[in-house]
Amino acid sequence: MKTAANLNEIATLSTVLLSNLDEVVFFSKLSGFVQELTGEHKVLGFEALSDGSTRLISENGQALSSAKLLNKGQGLSGYVARMKRAYYSNSVKRDPIASTGIREESIEAELCVPVMIEGSVIGTINVQSVKKDRNFNESDIAAINELLAQLQSPIRNMHLFLMAKNLNRDLLSRIEAKEKELSNRVEIQVIKGFEDQSQMIGHSKNFLEVVQTAKKIAGQDFPVLLEGQHGVGKKILAKKIHGWSGRKGGCVVASCSALNEAQLDRELFSSKGLMVQANGGTLIIDDISNTTLHIQTKLLRALVAGEMITVDTEEKIALNVRIIATSKFDLKKLVEEGTFKEELFYRLNTIALRIPSLRERHEDIKVMAELFLNQGKSESKILTSGALEKLTAYFWPGNAHELKNIMERTYILTDGQYIEASHLPEFAQEVKVEKVEAPVKYVEFTLFDLEKKHIIDTLDHLQGNKTRAAKTLGITVKTLYNKLHSYGLIEARDQQ
């Protein structure tokens, strides 16, 4: 392959590309030029679409009468568009990455180079050879990249054009979706926490069912158990239930994961403790699964007898407190393991609601992401369809809390009005464990994502106990808090 083309020829090509705002013309001219440069059998031009798929639109400088679509990740074009780096295979018939591509049977080797600008891939150029002794190498990649480096202006122009085109398509689909939503009268619920700026939002069926049930039981004085993963909004819904209840007393929160047994005992059962403060109102016991059997026994007495003995003055105090407990763990399983009192569980389980995780209501991710992205901002930014596709594909172990932190961070770090998939962090892929006798497939993880998953799994295994988790992981508690903050799983103030 030649190392460079004539500068006059490149200047002419640049002028032609700048004067034609048409992706078919762009990739046709570019693939034709590369074919002349390389002298290989075929050079294909693929456009990279916002949903991760690619489509073949040109071959050896000629536009195809009908584009051929490859689904997300298929073929060398899909792989290169996702990885954002060139790839070559000198044995395409035995290469699994190349197996789903588009090529003639006679093709022996193929080189694929991304056409990109500022981290965004708009397409790929695929050079195909029928020579059995043809071995592509790094110098071939360098030759094409040298050409693309001199075509940055038309590439940037085409990138902006495609963004506008995709945005227009996305806006039309949003309008259609909105019209359908209005015609079907789908209710979108935004729940603000009582005396809190936090929010839950959604219009999925399983989310609305939980909300409607919470409204129905709010006026009753039964204890309520709210279960669900970290970050789904259990505490927010608990505060809202109090707001709906009409109880005249206050609403106070006991955070069981932040205190040891002695501290929590004083916090709850002293003469000026949370039980007394909540008298006539509601006590939210957050992360009740972290309480000891001693604390559970005293809570059970307060529920059954409606009174307590203060730990500081040993005074008997009558109680009129509604308890709403939250847990990210299955309390029934903890009862079976002997770490949670059975009678207390059945008292709390009189009314139990499980808040679905984000992976169980993907249709809510779009509206939540847009709300978190622009909430409180003077200038709004727009999520492209590619960015939304990436968000909905992720499994969100931190749920709404993680989504909120990522959207706020993305807003700050992204210049311009449009948020593309490349502006979002690289999310870890969900690993599904299946009991099958088959070779274990390799799953791509960055070290950052692998560390994040291991820390979250360790915390879940230890029921959120950060001191024990830090000891198990071999790091300090301060380091653990710093890491959780960097993952967007806790606020900076939670580190104090």
Q: Which amino acid is at 150?
A: Q
Domain containing 242: what range? Answer: 192-354
Chain Cα centroid distance, residue 295: 36
Helix (H) or strand (E) holding 487: none
Q: Which amino acid is at 58?
A: S
| Vertex 243 angle, CA 245 and 362, to 5° | 110
In this structure, are residues 77 and 101 in contact, taking their beta carbons and an 8 Å threshold?
yes
Q: The CATH number of the domain where 161 resides is what?
A: 3.30.450.40
Strand partners, 123: 47, 115
Q: Is residue 206 part of a domain?
A: yes
Q: Is residue 429 part of a domain?
A: yes
Do 347 and 386 have their domain in common? no
Do 47 and 91 have their domain in common? yes
Do 339 and 379 have their domain in common? no
Q: The CATH number of the domain where 227 resides is what?
A: 3.40.50.300
Q: Is residue 461 part of a domain?
A: yes
Do 259 and 342 have their domain in common? yes
In this structure, are residues 15 and 33 in contact, taking their beta carbons and an 8 Å threshold?
no
To the question of pTM greater than 0.75 for the whole model, the response is no
Q: Is the dihedral of CA 78, 79, 84, 85 positive or negative?
A: negative
Do 349 and 377 have their domain in common? no
Q: Is residue 186 part of a domain?
A: no
Q: Is residue 270 part of a domain?
A: yes
In this structure, are residues 89 and 97 in contact, taking their beta carbons and an 8 Å threshold?
yes
In this structure, are residues 126 and 110 in contact, taking their beta carbons and an 8 Å threshold?
yes
Do 250 and 141 have their domain in common? no
Residue-wise pLDDT tens digits, 235-259: 999 999 999 998 888 899 999 988 8
Do 154 and 199 have their domain in common? no
Do 370 and 311 have their domain in common? no
Q: The CATH number of the domain where 386 resides is what?
A: 1.10.8.60
Residue-wise pLDDT tens digits, 466-483: 888 888 888 888 888 888
Chain Cα centroid distance, residue 343: 38
Residue-wise pLDDT tens digits, 19-77: 888 899 999 999 999 999 999 999 999 999 888 899 999 999 999 888 899 988 899 99
Buried (b) or exposed (e) across 228-257, using 16+ Cβ within 10 A?
A: bbbbbbbbbbbbbbbbebebebbbbbbebb
In whole angstroms, give the CA distance from residue 368 to residue 80: 31
- Whose tokens are 């490349």? That residue is 422
In whole angstroms, give the CA distance from residue 395 to residue 228: 15
Do 205 and 264 have their domain in common? yes
Q: Is residue 14 part of a domain?
A: yes
Domain count, the chain: 3
Do 326 and 419 have their domain in common? no
pLDDT class of 179 with cuts at 50, 70, 90: low
Q: Is residue 97 part of a domain?
A: yes
- Whose tokens are 């509601």? That residue is 282
